[in-house]
Structures are given as C-alpha cells and as structure tokens.
Amino acid sequence: MKPVRFDYKRPATIDEACGLLAGDDNARILAGGQSLIPMLSMRLSRPSLLIDIAHIPELTTFVETETHIEIGAMVRQAAAQKSELVKTHIPLLAKALGHVGHPPTRARGTVGGSVAHADPSAEIALVTATLGAEITYRVDGTDEIFDASDFFIGPMLTIAPPTGCLTRLSFAKAPAVCGTGFHEVAPRKSDYALVSAAAQINFAAGSGVTSIHLGIGSVGDFPERLDVNKLCGTPLDDAAIADAVHAAMQMVETVEDLHATAAYRKRVATELAIRALRDARDEISKDLNQ
C-alpha cells in the first residue's frame, strides 16, 4: 500500500514546529521515521501534514550538567549507543540500546522518537520509565517537564500535550558504582520483545545500596516500574531478590495477544526481572572486588 496524500514541512526551529503542530489537528511529527513510515505505508496513520524536525540543530545534541545527561530528541539511537557520556553516566540505556532493532534502524531511529511513539515493547521507553527520566516538551514557547514514570498511559498513548514537541530527555547520572541488567525475550533477535526487564542498582561507599530501579516492558499496555526498594539494606541474595520480584509482580496486569498469553508474560517477566537484578548486583560485586 501507499500512504494517503499529505503536506510536508521542514521547520528550522522548535517553536516553528510547535506552531505548525498547533495549526493542524491532524499533523504528525516526523523524527527518524522508523515507526511512523511503516504505519503511513499501511495507512494505519493518515496525517494531513508531516512536520520533519530532523534539521533542528538543538535537538541533536548531548548536554552534560553537574547531575544529569540531557539527550536531544533527534539524537540517533546509534549515536547514543556509541556515546561515552551514555556509556559512563547512563549505563542501563547503553546496555538496552543493543537490543533496539537492527544497526540500519538504529542509524535512523531517534531516542526521542521511540519515547514519543510509546510502544509498550520499546526498550528505550522501558529504560526511561525505569530510571524516572525527565521528558521535556515545548508548548506555546515554554517547556513542560514530565516524569517518565507517569508519562506512559497506554499502547502508543502518553500524557504529552497534543500541540507540544518533545525536545529532550534528561537522565540523572548514575553513581560511580552501580550495576545494571537488561533482558528480553523476542521471537527473533531484534524483533519486538514479548517480555523485557531492566534494572539498575545504585551503590555508595559507606552507605551500601542507595536505590534500586526495576522496570518491565511488553507485558502490559505500557512500560511499568516495579517497587523493590525494600531490598535496600538487605544482602541482596538470590532468595531475597526472588521474593521481592514475586511480590511486586502480584500487582501487575498482563495482556494477551496472538504472540503470547498473559500467564506466559507474567511468568517470563518475573524470571527476567530476577535475572536483571542479579546481573546488576553481580556487576557491583565485581567492581568492588577489583
């Protein structure tokens, strides 16, 4: 099939893009296009106007502050995967990016586009929700910031303002000693995940484990963060991790489709979450023993 007819605009600034978006209720933002273009071709999306933001310079940068790493919405996934800032300060994102699509799609796909698209199986969205990143949208000339933990509300649904343009993601820098884990199950390598889990354990000398971040994706209508902070102050042995994950999963509602049953997703999500936490714990042990 071919897309329906649409107009095309290439704004030079974020505010110009927002103005175009506000002027047409049926306009869509075009970033990397790796999700939108197939939907256009299958006529699952029928916009009257595509607003191409790929040539707005301020959306393509990394910014390091004292406490955060800010990633422009148009930063390509391949660039984020290679970035030393991401590897050093957002190690969970660096680990997850290797599971996103294929090298050619990562070369075109964008970090912000994946979050805005809000696919429940998207690895970048899962990491963003797990770490509670800040998601910034430009609306009417001002910035609105959303907590990623509350941003996703359904399949391809978010609380983003309809006339806003996503400009950047801001991740708190991981401490010098932390551990991460990321696992997913997919029909084939680089396919959409049937189940995924992401974990980060933060550690401070003299204080021990300071916080634990755990999230699961592809099991419900949106990526979900699990509360396992009761593990802080415990030895983090296998039994304690398993007990905490099983308890947290009791509150999770899983979905069933042609690819997997709800029971399968809950069982596999539990196992992958346990593995991700174990990996994160073991990374910290390895760092401390070097």
The H or E element that residue 30 is part of is: strand 27-30
CATH of the domain at 15: 3.30.43.10
Pair 222, 268 in one domain: yes
d(CA 61, CA 44): 31
Pair 75, 168 in one domain: yes
How many other C-beta atoms can be found within 10 angstroms of the C-beta atom of residue 65? 9
- For the record, the structure tokens of 62 come out as 């990394």
Boundary-marking domain end, from 140, 172, 204: 172
Pair 190, 284 in one domain: yes
Reference 203, options 87, 91, 63; nearest CA is 91
Question: What's the total number of domains in the chain?
Answer: 3
2 domain-assigned: no
Beta strands in 67-223, from DSSP E residues, in sequence order:
68-72, 134-139, 142-147, 152-154, 157-158, 165-172, 177-185, 195-204, 208-217
Boundary-marking domain end, from 115, 137, 172: 172
114 domain-assigned: yes
Pair 191, 284 in one domain: yes
CATH of the domain at 133: 3.30.465.10
Pair 125, 216 in one domain: no
Pair 165, 206 in one domain: no
Look up the domain containing 249 and give its range: 179-289
- In terms of Cβ atoms closer than 10 Å to its own Cβ (0-12, 13-18, 19+), residue 103 is exposed
Beta strands in 46-159, from DSSP E residues, in sequence order:
49-52, 62-64, 68-72, 134-139, 142-147, 152-154, 157-158
* pTM, to two decimals: 0.94
Pair 254, 204 in one domain: yes
235 domain-assigned: yes
Boundary-marking domain end, from 141, 172, 203: 172
d(CA 7, CA 14): 19
Please list the pLDDT of the chain residue by residue as tens digits (290 residues). Answer: 677 787 889 999 999 999 998 888 888 888 877 777 777 777 777 878 888 898 899 999 999 999 999 999 999 999 999 999 999 999 999 999 999 988 898 998 999 999 999 999 999 999 999 999 999 999 988 999 999 999 999 998 999 998 899 999 999 999 999 999 999 999 887 778 999 999 999 999 878 899 999 999 999 999 999 999 899 988 899 999 999 999 999 989 999 888 899 999 999 999 999 999 999 999 999 888 87
Pair 208, 256 in one domain: yes
User: pLDDT at position 1, please?
Assistant: 62
1 domain-assigned: no
Amino acid occupying residue 102: H
